[in-house]
Chains A and B, each alone.
Chain A
Amino acid sequence: MTQAAPLIRLEGVTKRFGPLLANDAVSLSFYEGEVLALLGENGAGKSTLSKILFGMVKIDEGQMFVSGQPVRFRSPADAIAHGVGFVSQHFSLVPTFTVAENVVLGREGSAVLTRGKLERRVGNLSERFGLGLEPGQLVGELSVGEQQRVEILKALCGRCRLLILDEPTAVLTPQDTARFFGVLRTLQEQGVSVVIITHKLGEVMAISQRVAVLRLGRLVGERVTHETSEAELAHLMVGRDTAQVTRPARSAPATAPTKVTPLLRVADLHYSDRGRTRIGGVSFDLHAGEVVGIAGVAGNGQSELVAVLTGMLKPDAGVVALSGEQVADFTPNTFLARGVGRIPEDRFRGIVGELSVAENLLLEQLSSFTRAGHLDRRALKRKAETMITAYGIKARPNDRARTLSGGNVQKIILARALARDPKVVIAAQPTRGLDVGATAYVQGKLLEQAARGAGVLLVSDDLDEILRLSDRILVMFRGGLSGSFSAGEADADTLGLRMAGRAEPEEAHVPA
Chain B
Amino acid sequence: MFRLERAPAPLWQRALVPVLAVLVTFILVSLVILGTGVDPLAVFREVLFEPLTSRSDRLEVLVQATPLLLTGVAVAVAFRGGYYNIGAEGQLYTGALAAALVGPRLGGVPAALSVAVMLAAGFFGGALWALTPALLKIRLKVDEVVTTLLLNSVMLFLISALLNGPWRDPVSGWPRSPAIAASAQFPGIIPRSRVHLGLLVALLAVALLGWVLRRTRFGLELRAVGLGADAARFMGVRVRRVVLISALVSGGVAGLAGVGEVAGVHTYLIGELSPGYGYTGIIVATFGGLSAPGILISGLFLALIDTGTLSASRTLGVPVYLGDVLEATLLLVTLAFLLLNRYRLRWAVKRPVG
Asked whether any CB of chain A lies closer than 8 Å to the CB of B234, the reply is yes
CB under 8 Å from chain B, chain A span 392-409: 400, 403
Are A375 and B7 interface neighbours, CB within 8 A?
A: no
A354 to B221 alpha-carbon distance, docked (Å): 13
In the assembled complex, the CB of B292 is this many whole angstroms from the nearest CB of chain A, namely 16
Q: Assign chain B's interface to a size class.
A: 20 to 34
A12 to B220 alpha-carbon distance, docked (Å): 49
A363 to B238 alpha-carbon distance, docked (Å): 12
Asked whether any CB of chain A lies closer than 8 Å to the CB of B266, the reply is no
A355 to B233 alpha-carbon distance, docked (Å): 14
Asked whether any CB of chain B lies closer than 8 Å to the CB of A259, the reply is no
CB under 8 Å from chain A, chain B span 225-242: 227-228, 230-238
A19 to B348 alpha-carbon distance, docked (Å): 11
Asked whether any CB of chain B lies closer than 8 Å to the CB of A377, the reply is yes
CB under 8 Å from chain A, chain B span 274-322: none
Are B224 and A352 interface neighbours, CB within 8 A?
A: yes
Please give me the residue from chain B that is nearest to A336 by CB atom.
Answer: B236
Are B227 and A333 interface neighbours, CB within 8 A?
A: no
A336 to B236 alpha-carbon distance, docked (Å): 7
CB under 8 Å from chain A, chain B span 141-200: none
Are A353 and B228 interface neighbours, CB within 8 A?
A: yes
Question: Contacts A373-B218, A374-B215 given: A364-B236 contact, CB under 8 Å?
Answer: yes
Are B224 and A373 interface neighbours, CB within 8 A?
A: no
User: Residues 97-133 of chain B: 1 if any A CB is under 8 Å from the residue's CB, otherwise 0?
Assistant: 0000000000000000000000000000000000000
Question: Contacts A355-B223, A373-B216, A373-B218 given: A363-B5 contact, CB under 8 Å?
Answer: no
Asked whether any CB of chain B lies closer than 8 Å to the CB of A50, the reply is no
What chain B residues lie within 8 Å of A416 (beta carbons)?
A: 235
User: Residues 251-280 of chain B: 1 if any A CB is under 8 Å from the residue's CB, otherwise 0?
Assistant: 000000000000000000000000000000
Asked whether any CB of chain A lies closer than 8 Å to the CB of B6, the reply is yes
Asked whether any CB of chain A lies closer than 8 Å to the CB of B139, the reply is no
Are B236 and A332 interface neighbours, CB within 8 A?
A: yes
What chain A residues lie within 8 Å of B230 (beta carbons)?
A: 349
What chain B residues lie within 8 Å of A333 (beta carbons)?
A: 236, 238
Asked whether any CB of chain A lies closer than 8 Å to the CB of B55, the reply is no
What chain B residues lie within 8 Å of A366 (beta carbons)?
A: 217, 220-221
What chain B residues lie within 8 Å of A359 (beta carbons)?
A: 220, 224
What chain A residues lie within 8 Å of B11 (beta carbons)?
A: none
A366 to B237 alpha-carbon distance, docked (Å): 10
CB under 8 Å from chain B, chain A span 194-229: none
Are B227 and A353 interface neighbours, CB within 8 A?
A: yes
What chain B residues lie within 8 Å of A57 (beta carbons)?
A: none
Are A332 and B6 interface neighbours, CB within 8 A?
A: no
In the assembled complex, the CB of B219 is this many whole angstroms from the nearest CB of chain A, namely 8
Asked whether any CB of chain A lies closer than 8 Å to the CB of B353, the reply is yes
A6 to B236 alpha-carbon distance, docked (Å): 57
What chain A residues lie within 8 Å of B344 (beta carbons)?
A: 18
What chain B residues lie within 8 Å of A403 (beta carbons)?
A: 8
In the assembled complex, the CB of B245 is this many whole angstroms from the nearest CB of chain A, namely 12
Asked whether any CB of chain B lies closer than 8 Å to the CB of A370, the reply is yes
Asked whether any CB of chain B lies closer than 8 Å to the CB of A161, the reply is no
Asked whether any CB of chain A lies closer than 8 Å to the CB of B37, the reply is no
User: Residues 289-319 of chain A: 1 if any B CB is under 8 Å from the residue's CB, otherwise 0?
Assistant: 0000000000000000000001010000000
What chain B residues lie within 8 Å of A19 (beta carbons)?
A: 5, 7
Are A350 and B216 interface neighbours, CB within 8 A?
A: no
Are B236 and A363 interface neighbours, CB within 8 A?
A: yes
Asked whether any CB of chain B lies closer than 8 Å to the CB of A82, the reply is no
Are B227 and A332 interface neighbours, CB within 8 A?
A: no
Please give me the residue from chain A that is nearest to B229 by CB atom.
Answer: A352
A56 to B230 alpha-carbon distance, docked (Å): 32
Question: Contacts A19-B7, A355-B227 given: A370-B217 contact, CB under 8 Å?
Answer: yes
Question: Contacts A332-B236, A333-B238, A349-B231 given: A363-B353 contact, CB under 8 Å?
Answer: no
A489 to B238 alpha-carbon distance, docked (Å): 44
A375 to B218 alpha-carbon distance, docked (Å): 9
Which of B218, B238, B353 has the most C-beta atoms of chain A within 10 angstroms of its own C-beta?
A: B353
A377 to B220 alpha-carbon distance, docked (Å): 11
CB under 8 Å from chain B, chain A span 1-57: 12, 18-19
A416 to B218 alpha-carbon distance, docked (Å): 20
In the assembled complex, the CB of A377 is this many whole angstroms from the nearest CB of chain B, namely 7
Are B215 and A61 interface neighbours, CB within 8 A?
A: no
User: Residues 1-35 of chain B: 1 if any A CB is under 8 Å from the residue's CB, otherwise 0?
Assistant: 00001111000000000000000000000000000
In the assembled complex, the CB of A379 is this many whole angstroms from the nearest CB of chain B, namely 13
Given contacts A342-B234, A351-B228, A352-B235, 9 further A-B contacts (CB under 8 A): A18-B5, A61-B354, A333-B236, A344-B234, A353-B227, A354-B227, A373-B218, A374-B217, A416-B235
Give A contacts to B, CB under 8 Å: 12, 18-19, 61-62, 310, 312, 331-333, 336, 342, 344, 349-355, 359-360, 363-364, 366-367, 369-370, 373-375, 377, 400, 403, 416
Ordered nearest first, which 3 A-B pairs have the shortest CB separation? Answer: A352-B228, A18-B5, A354-B227
20 contacts between A and B (CB under 8 A): A18-B7, A19-B7, A62-B353, A312-B234, A331-B238, A344-B234, A350-B231, A350-B234, A351-B231, A352-B228, A353-B227, A354-B227, A355-B220, A363-B220, A363-B236, A363-B237, A369-B217, A373-B218, A375-B216, A400-B8
